[in-house]
Amino acid sequence: MNFFAANRSAEDEGEAKWGRVRAEYPAQEPFLNLNNAAVSPPPTVVEEAVVDAYRFISRNPDYNMWSKLDAALPAIKRELAELIDCTPEEIALNRNSSEGLSTAIFGIPLSQGDQVLISPWDYPSVRAGWLQRQQREGIQVVNCAFDLMDSDDDIIEAYLGAMTPRTRVLQLTHMYHWNGRVVPVKRLCEMARERNIITVVDGAQTFAQMPVSFRELDCDFFVTSLHKWLGAPVGNGMLIVNERRIDRTWPLLAPFDQPAVHIDKFDHWNLGTYNSAIQAGIAPAIHFHKTIGAERMHARLRELTRYWIGLARDIPGFKLHTDIGTDSLAAISLFSIDNVDMKQLEGNLRVEHQVHVKYRKVEHMEGLRVSPHIYMLKRDLDAFVAALRNAALQ
Ligand SMILES: Cc1ncc(COP(=O)(O)O)c(C=O)c1O
């Protein structure tokens, strides 16, 4: 597959080229799918690899899963390591970000009175995990107060102001799923390292949606789901544990293989029986993703977001809760419309117009989250904005 000329940027590529990308995905029906931030459809080649592997497993499950299909896992880790710039020995494969985040949250040794810095915007299960440790073990969870529309410098100031000599862990979200805001994680991790603070980065929304380098971020834990922007089958996640942190972190489940050493102790084969067919879809997803590349993917998603917002802006009362001027903008944005019940609008769009977007409410922010994907064309977004205009003015 070669969708693009090597020397052209995404903005230079016509819709026709992206039409060829679209042809490689299963049709999205009955809804126009604008909630890809939750889970993305895999390209058809990935879907087929999973079905083939599933059939293969049924013929001789034990042998075909653990002796045959799993033989490909070291190579898969090498390819993932190359994509995100870490070593294969730092990668554990699991089911999703939630599992990886819980591994970090519950695996870092802490004592009563140790502080963990989180934010009101972190993923709800991440906040709940840390609060559970607070209840059970008497650690202190401290909320860092800032707004998702604040500048990078303001956010850094807020974290700096909240750090104390008792801060042991800094929980960060690379891109907030609420409105697509990317935070300056690299600078924050640097500040943390200078203070011997462990960093956990929730990268569920950034890996594969944009270029990410684990070595450049230099965090202790980076967690992501492979079924979001990489396009792997649903039920694939990746936990990266910095080599300096592996020995000192407890696994979530006591490992089958003892002694529990190296990255294996976090890996799926120590989490009980899993579905190797789902993992057989990772390699084709990586290969498909590479035909586009994270940089071109990011540029295209940013272009699509700016495109639909440009069309929708003149809807009376339209309000954006995402900064679309920033280079880190990608697929995710959040909007509301004055005097319109956004929850009801979400329902109307689905029932009356077959458009699927996501209602989100957190702190003072409320609206509809829109997240297109690279299999979408501008004409899909024309249809979305026409439906929105119609539904909003009803
Ligand atoms: C920022 C963020 N963290 C964590 C998660 C959890 O991902 P998963 O459901 O794949 O475990 C999500 C899912 O949307 C997310 O957006």
- 3-state SS, one letter per residue, for 17-41: HHHHHHCCCCCCCCCEECECCCCCC
Query: How confident is residue 260, by pLDDT bands cut at 50, 70 and 90?
Result: confident
**pLDDT digits 0-9 by tens, 31-70:** 999 999 999 999 999 999 999 999 999 999 999 999 999 9
Overall pTM surpassing 0.85 (yes/no): yes
Peptide bond into 30 cis (omega under 30): yes
The first and second tokens of residue 111, run together, are 């004592």
- Is residue 267 a contact partner of residue 257, using CB atoms and an 8 Å limit? no
Residue 100 has a pLDDT of 97
Which residue is closest in CA terms to ligand 1's atom 15? Answer: 204
The bridge status of strand 115-118 relative to strand 167-173 is parallel
**The pLDDT value given to residue 11:** 55
Q: Model confidence over 261-281: pLDDT tens digits?
A: 799 999 877 778 889 999 999
Distance between CA 113 and CA 99 in Å, rounded?
A: 25
Helices (H) and strands (E) in the chain, counts: 14, 13
- Cβ atoms of 159 and 186 closer than 8 Å: no
CA terminus-to-terminus distance, the chain: 45
Ligand 1: centre distance to CA 125 (Å) = 9
* Atom 16 (ligand 1) nearest CA: 177
What is the Cα–Cα distance from 90 to 244, expressed in whole angstroms? 10
d(CA 89, CA 242): 9
Among the ranges given (90-104, 251-265, 291-305, 312-326), the one the predictor scored with the smallest mean pLDDT: 251-265
- The crossing angle, in degrees rounded to 10, of helices 378-392 and 342-353 is 120
Q: Which residues does a 6 A CB cutoff place in the pocket of ligand 1?
A: 38, 96-98, 123, 173, 177, 202, 204-205, 225
| Nearest ligand 1 atom to alpha carbon 98 | 11
In angstroms, what is the span from residue 321 Cα to ligand 1's centroid? Answer: 20
Which atom of ligand 1 lies nearest, measured to the CA of 175?
1
Ligand 1 atom at minimum distance from 101 CA: 4
What pLDDT, on a 0 to 100 scale, did the predictor assign at position 13?
A: 62
Residue 74 is which amino acid? Answer: P
What the chain holds in terms of domains, given with CATH numbers, is 10-43+293-392 (3.90.1150.10), 47-287 (3.40.640.10)
Nearest CA to 335 out of 350, 354, 322 is that of 322
